[in-house]
Amino acid sequence: MSESSPYRIKVRVEPAFIPEQSDTERGRWVFSYTVTIENHGDVAAQLRTRHWVITDGDGKVQEVRGDGVVGEQPYLQPGEGFRYTSGTVLETPIGTMEGSYQMVASDGHEFDAEIPRFTLSAPRTLH
C-alpha cells in the first residue's frame, strides 16, 4: 500500500512470554501479543476478519482465520486506533507470527492490512 493511498492501516505488535502459564517441561510455551492498529489513511475502515500464520521453532505452521479480533470488528476513522491483547501457545520456545487483517473501507473498498512478522521467544533463547 503506497503512502499516497487513502487506505493505510499500520499494525504494530508487542509480544511477551508468559512463564506462569507455560509448562516448558511438557513442551508448552505461552505468549501474549498486544496489537495496535491505526488508521493512517483518509477513509474510515472496519476490520472484518483476521488471518494469522504461526510458525514454531521446528517449522510447524498453524494458520488461524476468523471474524474480527477479541470478539470485535473495530471501525476506525482516519487517525483512530484500536489496541487489544491476545495469545498463542507454541510447542517450542521460539517462533514467529505474521498475517493480515481484511478491511472494508467506508466507500466499500476491500483491502488487507499487513501484520508484519514478529518473533515470539522465551527468555535466553535468542542471543
What single-letter DSSP state applies at residue 116?
E
C-alpha cell at 24: 516448558
Distance of CA 107 to the CA centre of its chain: 25
- Given a contact cutoff of 8 angstroms between Cβ atoms, the answer to whether 109 and 43 are in contact is yes
What single-letter DSSP state applies at residue 28?
B
Length of the chain: 127
CA dihedral in degrees (107, 11, 35, 43; nearest 10)? -20
pLDDT for 106 beyond 70: yes
CA dihedral in degrees (23, 97, 39, 34; nearest 10)? 10
9-116 CATH fold: Immunoglobulin-like (2.60.40)
Any bridge partners for residue 66, and if so which? 50
Q: Rounded to whole angstroms, how far apart are CA atoms 94 and 84?
A: 22
Q: What is the pLDDT of residues 20-59, one digit of tens each?
A: 999 999 999 999 999 999 999 999 999 999 999 999 999 9
Distance of CA 52 to the CA centre of its chain: 7
Q: What is the pLDDT of residues 87-102, one digit of tens each?
A: 999 999 999 999 999 9
Q: How confident is the model at residue 4 (pLDDT cuts 50, 70, 90)?
A: confident
